[in-house]
Structure 1
Amino acid sequence: MFFSFAALAVSLLPLASAAVAPGTPFACENKQVLSTSYIGKVKVESLSCSNALSAAPPPAAAPQPADDGTNVCGAQCATNCFNPSGGGPNPYDCQVIADSLNYSNSTDGQQFNLTGNGSAIAMTYSTCETFIVDQAQTNLTYCRDDWASLTNYLAFNCQSTQNAHGGNCVANDGRWFVQVQNSTQTPSSTSVPASTSTASGTPTITVTVTATSSSS
């Protein structure tokens, strides 16, 4: 499976006002943990945030095979790194999370479902936290190996050498995003992206990675 992470102009679908802007760190306010489970030593949480979209039924404790929603596996997203440098996650801790996603991919199936209207699933190991948010008003289907590849890509490419401390990848249609950050981090509203989408049509570099499924 091939998919691209590109810094492209974003044309957003109609969303609620709480939708995250490209390159803007998202912080879960008044976080409520709805359920918790573990994949090895990796913690998996279903979250409710007061600044997310309108209330939705709690998602499963861990990503589950999808039976409805819109499949966005392999969809493009725009990558953004958060300035300044310092305080980012250890990328090798993020790699542990990616490995757990690939393991779950081989045991539980490739796809999982996100309930619409702001549901979030967070995964944490040591210094690294990654989460995916469905900020559309419909259910979405995503793939574990895609999330794993995004986690690794952001962890290793939004480090101090890029004057960054984590980053996100916002879907080109704005319906979902994946973020990687330090597990103790509370992103500041003053943080700015090291790379952003533009509407000027200026050529950008597209980075293509290969997402490989683990085999049992």
Structure 2
Amino acid sequence: MKVFWLFSLVLATITAASAALVGSGGVPTCANEQVAYETYIGKDHNVKVSYSQCDEDASTPALAKRQSSNVCGAACNTFCFTPAGGPSASDCNVIADALLYDSQNIGVLFNVSATGTPTNKITMQYGTCLTYFLNQDFSTLVYCRTEWSKLVTWLSTDCAPANNAQGGLCVATDQRWYVQVVCVDV
């Protein structure tokens, strides 16, 4: 069911129907999203991080969880949203730098809990830039801050207003997870 949902999501993106992913004002929407906790990261503690549950149907019980799986460096397919109006690349650079700072001071790897758990989505925001990592798999995924930093930088520059885009996403080739970068109103 989750793989089918993500496949539909990718198709919608390819056909420029980014409204399915981006609500009014460019804020990504998520059915039944519940924030578990929030904090701030980076050298200046200026990047807001939210850990939440993002599922299409939060009432659906999670299947038995498998052991964690390291997907750091796994391939993903990138899509840009149109029309233009994406986040400020300099705001996204603050997030990318905060991820690199934490990779050096906390560690490169981090866990994203399985779908159906209270923290299967990690969201970061600074200024106009919002990015999140969503785990749609039934196991905990291990990803790396350095790779997320690269994706934030890449998506904020290649999927930018100068390229007639408003952010984008990178969907794992096995469709278990994706990283998205969008513009939010401040």
TM-score tier, shorter chain, comes to 0.7 to 0.9
Alignment partner, residue 115 of structure 1: 113
Aligned-pair CA distance for 1:116: 1.1
Alignment partner, residue 177 of structure 1: 178
**What residue ranges of structure 2 are gaps of 5+ in the alignment?**
22-27
Tell me, in whole angstroms, the C-alpha distance in 1 between the residues paired with 2:31 and 2:2: 19
Aligned-pair CA distance for 1:159: 1.1
Structural mapping, 1:89-128, within 5 Å:
89-117=87-115, 119-128=120-129
2:75 maps to 1:76: yes
TM-score, normalization: structure 2?
A: 0.78
CA contact (8 A) 2:54 2:134 kept: no
Cα shift readout 1:109-142 (whole Å, capped 9, x = no counterpart): 1101111115100000011100000011111110
Cα shift readout 1:18-60 (whole Å, capped 9, x = no counterpart): 436223535223432210000111000011235266466xxxx
Out of 33, 45, 49, the position equivalent to 1:44 is 49
CA contact (8 A) 2:3 2:176 kept: no
Tell me, in whole angstroms, the C-alpha distance in 1 between the residues paired with 2:49 and 2:106: 15
Cα shift readout 1:136-169 (whole Å, capped 9, x = no counterpart): 1111110000000000000011012221100000
* Number of equivalent positions: 160
Q: Which has the higher contact order (CA 8 A, sep 6+)?
A: 1
TM-score, normalization: structure 1?
A: 0.68
RMSD: 2.2
- Structure whose residues are more often helix by fraction: 2
Alignment partner, residue 163 of structure 1: 164
Paired residue secondary structure (1:139): strand
Tell me, in whole angstroms, the C-alpha distance in 1 between the residues paired with 2:51 and 2:123: 7
Tell me, in whole angstroms, the C-alpha distance in 2 between the residues paired with 1:153 and 1:172: 18
Aligned-pair CA distance for 1:174: 0.3
2:30 maps to 1:28: yes
Q: What fraction of aligned residue pairs are identical, expressed as a percent?
A: 40
After TM superposition, the runs of 4+ consecutive aligned structure 1 residues lying more than 6 A away are none
